[in-house]
Chain A
């Protein structure tokens, strides 16, 4: 079980163990929150010099997913770059790598809060992308049929004495929230009130990692009276 297949608004989708969403009927791959250029932005803003390898790592994993699925379309769901300056300041070899990936398919950039303005890179730039019944945007709204990112959800599961925390998809009847795909990204626990309020009662969390596992979304512990 390397991915979790499910029906959403009548469409068969796959939540992949990598954290990417795969729509086989349209050969479309969707990832969220790549945060390319994060280490550079942190250095610029705070002076901390983190290992500058996350861009390479994120692009390598993205390419592996594109190769594995043979995707003909690609949607990046926002926060693809850590900020506008990061997009412009990408190392030349990373820019070339990204351009090569873009050239091989239709490429949609959805804007995020970190990267709201159009990019110098090829591909089309959108506030949201609607394909049939599905609506792709960065931050979830009240609307039904939305696929979004932004929150970097992660779930914690108890395993006989210990516990494991993994980035996860959140899925209910109305929306899907993708985990962050970028290497240097943290997560917001599914027990956080923001996510507990956003997602419906029957929401599933699909844990990512080596394989994808669906569990009922772990929620905030209810306070006893």
Chain B
């Protein structure tokens, strides 16, 4: 009892320290102190609401009232940088108020000796990431390291819950809870659409979890940026808005300019800099830049030296950079929740409203931005419900458990199902994962002698070869790195600039120029997996291809857009966009939520068909692949297609007369099953699943091989499994992942359910207003199959002829 009293009262030294700064506790911070003894608490608060401090207050109170050695509180955040930032922020009050508390961080950047020492002599508060926690739990001395642990604080839990990192973390917490049964959990989240779901994710199943909601502050000041020039018909760069953006930067202290992709951020930054006649200090920040470059920008930002930063999702989270007073979002936000979180990056110090301006990058995005503004005003956040915990992460957890020591399968099953995401896991599914880890889980039993895990006579499972633990530890984690190459300035100790994808690097020849970190560089040579470049003065650089996520417009936002299109008129829209929609209605029809609009028209000697599915980019891309597959079977000779968030446009030799059979759900689903097996998306997904589940090593103990004939592509393994073991666990997982991710078939099904075969087929004499921008979209997809062989034959003949060789 006395213990909890201590936990909900702040130490006097800290109260004094607060007092000197004129700070008082926010109600949600006091509420966290009051609930210090609860098994689980979720705090939902806007950025900068002092939520991180709220998470730590009970710890500071308890450790001051009853000082003791050993680990007391574990803090987990999605970013290494955030852990370091929190260490600095916590250290100040602790030092100045003279509290007897030691705080340290532990991430991939922490030195080996520090890590060793931390395992034997942990600090009171340890700040870390899900991956570093998983590693700590894989050591046999984990019970000693975590002895006495009382609290765990999960920061930015909404972001972690969006990926497998969150599933891994919850399995880690389940393990911690077994080691420290009294462990209490706190989750800190930005505004989300479904807090109870996040609370179930966090809490030990079936513990209850209170949800505290901080005062969201005043309503944001959010509108379209006033741009005199019209946005272009297609594209995503937002270049037309550069003068207006520069004016806005001049009128504010610090502006964050968000883009949806790294490539767009690079192009925009380049042109912004060309137009920046007053030489305003402006930086760029995204995930493909070298760490040194990013740190430099972050330091300049923290010191208030920058007037603007062009950024991507890498700045969505965390690091507290006080003085931002304007957020500009270039391009449609795609997702209302992320927009709200980005808006929150502005003005969060005082109680002023956050100010944000949207810049639609093309004509259709004007409609989407207006719909998103309305959604923000209505507090209508979007989000897909989280599926059950993925089984590849569970496989990795089983291997991690085996690294820590022999385990009992029943006990591990009980532990795993206490994690929210795995609460509904069946014993059968668990056993299949255990069998995969032990024997490979193949229909053909080939590895009796070489099992990875074996069962001892006493029934416990252990690694057959204890040396395997090292390799398993090296591959802990669920983050997928794409194959990238580092880019450096040529010469001794050349500055690292960032990374480009291997695929893009392969298309470069010496002399080619491209943009990275806002600089134009010239490709010189590839030396030991590093791309060497020099500065260039070219004014037509190519754009480096970055993997980055391509967000699809959310279901909820798409529904709002369809609703808008059903209005008679659009007084909220700028004149150009309003006239465009009226013209579409005169020439064809406007898409409706309950009907599927399909237009067919000739254009430049080809027959075109445009399908307005409004299912988001990934699903529309899948629909394009499926429909062209069927059209090829029908002899319509499709030649290619291009997909956007709202439509797919297909071109080919023959006109589509009756689209209805193409879109019957049975037809689509049958075609889908066959198509899916051979799809490149499946192979890419399989590779990721195989890495997480531990079939393939992402990193091996030796250095990266230079001669690569010894390694072979995971595509071969995928093809082999599909042919000989189609029901294998990893293929089941791959299919589940692909369905919700890049393939997104679920949204095609949603589209079919919403339109129920009600197809409006408009045959027009020429291209329609709404279809026109699609022709300008990049990333057109050629239809392959027999076509790739024909292309290869043509290419071979051409190369032979060019070389002057006899055929």
CB distance from B700 to the nearest CB of A (A): 8
Known contacts A40-B446, A47-B452, A186-B710: A214-B796 contact under CB 8 Å: yes
Residue contact B509 to A43, C-beta cutoff 8 Å: no
Residue contact B724 to A53, C-beta cutoff 8 Å: yes
> Does A51 touch B at the CB level, under 8 Å?
yes
Which of A50, A54, A56: most chain B CB closer than 10 A?
A50
Q: Which residues of B contact A (CB under 8 A)?
A: 439-440, 442, 444, 446-447, 449-450, 452, 464-465, 468, 471, 506-507, 509-511, 524-525, 695-697, 707-713, 716-717, 720-721, 723-725, 728, 782, 788-789, 791-793, 795-796, 799-800, 803, 805
Pairs of residues from A and B, 7 with the lowest C-beta to C-beta distance, nearest first: A49-B440, A186-B712, A52-B446, A53-B724, A43-B450, A213-B796, A188-B709
Residue contact B447 to A159, C-beta cutoff 8 Å: no
For residue B468, which residues in chain A have a CB less than 8 angstroms away from its CB? 47
**Separation of A1 and B789 alpha carbons in the complex (Å):** 11
Residue contact B511 to A224, C-beta cutoff 8 Å: yes
Residue contact A51 to B452, C-beta cutoff 8 Å: no
Residue contact B724 to A56, C-beta cutoff 8 Å: yes
A-B contact pairs, 25 of them (CB 8 A): A40-B446, A44-B450, A49-B439, A49-B440, A51-B720, A53-B721, A151-B709, A157-B795, A157-B796, A183-B716, A183-B720, A184-B720, A185-B712, A186-B710, A187-B708, A188-B709, A194-B707, A202-B805, A211-B793, A213-B793, A214-B796, A215-B800, A216-B803, A222-B510, A224-B510
Number of residue pairs spanning A and B whose beta carbons lie under 8 angstroms apart: 126
Known contacts A52-B446, A57-B720, A215-B796: A47-B709 contact under CB 8 Å: no
**Separation of A57 and B805 alpha carbons in the complex (Å):** 36
- Nearest to A89 among chain B residues (CB) is B449
Residue contact A215 to B795, C-beta cutoff 8 Å: yes
**Separation of A194 and B444 alpha carbons in the complex (Å):** 39
**Separation of A156 and B502 alpha carbons in the complex (Å):** 13
For residue B450, which residues in chain A have a CB less than 8 angstroms away from its CB? 40, 43-44, 47, 49
- Nearest to A204 among chain B residues (CB) is B805
Chain A interface residue bracket vs B: 35 or more
Residue contact A186 to B720, C-beta cutoff 8 Å: no
**Separation of A36 and B273 alpha carbons in the complex (Å):** 58
> Does A207 touch B at the CB level, under 8 Å?
yes
CB distance from A156 to the nearest CB of B (A): 7
Known contacts A53-B724, A187-B709, A188-B708: A216-B446 contact under CB 8 Å: no
CB distance from A114 to the nearest CB of B (A): 11
For residue B793, which residues in chain A have a CB less than 8 angstroms away from its CB? 1, 211, 213
Residue contact A210 to B795, C-beta cutoff 8 Å: no
Q: Which residues of A contact B (CB under 8 A)?
A: 1, 39-40, 43-44, 46-54, 56-57, 91, 151-152, 156-161, 163-164, 180, 183-189, 192, 194, 202, 204, 207, 210-211, 213-216, 221-224
Residue contact A51 to B721, C-beta cutoff 8 Å: yes
CB distance from A51 to the nearest CB of B (A): 5
For residue B788, which residues in chain A have a CB less than 8 angstroms away from its CB? 159, 164
**Separation of A39 and B446 alpha carbons in the complex (Å):** 9
Residue contact A53 to B506, C-beta cutoff 8 Å: no
**Separation of A213 and B439 alpha carbons in the complex (Å):** 41
**Separation of A117 and B721 alpha carbons in the complex (Å):** 32
Residue contact B796 to A207, C-beta cutoff 8 Å: yes
For residue A215, which residues in chain B have a CB less than 8 angstroms away from its CB? 795-796, 799-800
Residue contact A48 to B792, C-beta cutoff 8 Å: no
**Separation of A166 and B440 alpha carbons in the complex (Å):** 29
Which of B471, B711, B723: most chain A CB closer than 10 A?
B723
Residue contact A214 to B708, C-beta cutoff 8 Å: no
CB distance from A174 to the nearest CB of B (A): 17
Q: A48-B697, A51-B440 are in contact. List 18 more A-B contacts (CB 8 A).
A: A39-B446, A46-B471, A50-B695, A52-B447, A57-B724, A156-B506, A157-B792, A157-B795, A158-B795, A160-B791, A194-B707, A204-B805, A211-B789, A213-B793, A214-B800, A216-B799, A216-B805, A221-B510
Residue contact B723 to A224, C-beta cutoff 8 Å: no
Known contacts A47-B468, A52-B446: A188-B707 contact under CB 8 Å: yes
- Nearest to A165 among chain B residues (CB) is B713
Known contacts A47-B465, A51-B717, A211-B789: A192-B800 contact under CB 8 Å: no
**Separation of A213 and B371 alpha carbons in the complex (Å):** 53
CB distance from A7 to the nearest CB of B (A): 11
For residue A186, which residues in chain B have a CB less than 8 angstroms away from its CB? 708-713
For residue B725, which residues in chain A have a CB less than 8 angstroms away from its CB? 51, 53
CB distance from A35 to the nearest CB of B (A): 10
For residue A213, which residues in chain B have a CB less than 8 angstroms away from its CB? 792-793, 796
- Nearest to A151 among chain B residues (CB) is B709
Known contacts A57-B720, A214-B800: A184-B791 contact under CB 8 Å: no
For residue A49, which residues in chain B have a CB less than 8 angstroms away from its CB? 439-440, 442, 447, 450, 452, 695
Q: Tell me which of A40, A48, A52, A161 contacts B695 (CB under 8 A).
A: A48
Residue contact B782 to A160, C-beta cutoff 8 Å: yes
For residue A48, which residues in chain B have a CB less than 8 angstroms away from its CB? 695-697
CB distance from A47 to the nearest CB of B (A): 5
**Separation of A111 and B696 alpha carbons in the complex (Å):** 30
**Separation of A223 and B166 alpha carbons in the complex (Å):** 46
**Separation of A159 and B707 alpha carbons in the complex (Å):** 25
